[in-house]
């Protein structure tokens, strides 16, 4: 059974950092892209970034709103992808989700392209 589980959400101050993890089970992780999305209360789910399958080079793509502050990486040996978030802003507060797509595991911006989703982890900004 394919499962994704996010962890690492917390309450942080603006300007702080946080690392989210997305751990997968039940499939060949290395052949799948991982996308990160977020959804704030009353807003639509939005693309944060993604990393392609390692078989495709592990390339990344980011939303303009997080470019230069967020970094996505993956460790296929641990079946885990990471979202490193630095210089957090109040508008980054949301529930963060990871999702998988593939094969071939291209890094895609459209959430409809992703097949499996985690339950999400909450990121709160408080001063």
Express each pLDDT in 19-40 by its tens digit: 999 999 888 898 999 999 999 9
Spell out, as residue ranges, where the chain has pLDDT lower than 70: none
pLDDT for position 123: 98
Instruction: Give percent of the chain with pLDDT exceeding 70.
Output: 100
Tokens (6 digits) for 78: 């641990």
Closest C-alpha to 72, from 54, 50, 92 = 50
pLDDT for position 27: 81
pLDDT for position 51: 97
Is residue 22 a contact partner of residue 80, using CB atoms and an 8 Å limit?
yes
Q: Looking at residue 77, what DSSP letter applies?
A: G
């Amino acid at each position: 059974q394919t499962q994704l589980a996010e962890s690492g959400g917390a309450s942080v101050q603006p300007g702080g950092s946080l690392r989210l993890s997305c751990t997968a089970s039940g499939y060949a992780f290395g052949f799948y892209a991982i996308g990160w999305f977020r959804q704030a209360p009353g807003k639509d789910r939005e693309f944060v970034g993604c990393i392609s399958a390692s078989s495709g080079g592990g390339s990344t793509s980011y939303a303009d709103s997080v470019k230069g502050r967020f970094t996505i990486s993956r460790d296929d040996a641990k079946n885990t992808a990471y979202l490193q978030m630095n210089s957090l802003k109040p508008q980054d507060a949301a529930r963060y989700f990871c999702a998988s797509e593939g094969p071939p595991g291209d890094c895609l911006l459209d959430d409809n392209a992703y097949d499996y989703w985690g339950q999400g982890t909450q990121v709160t900004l408080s001063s």
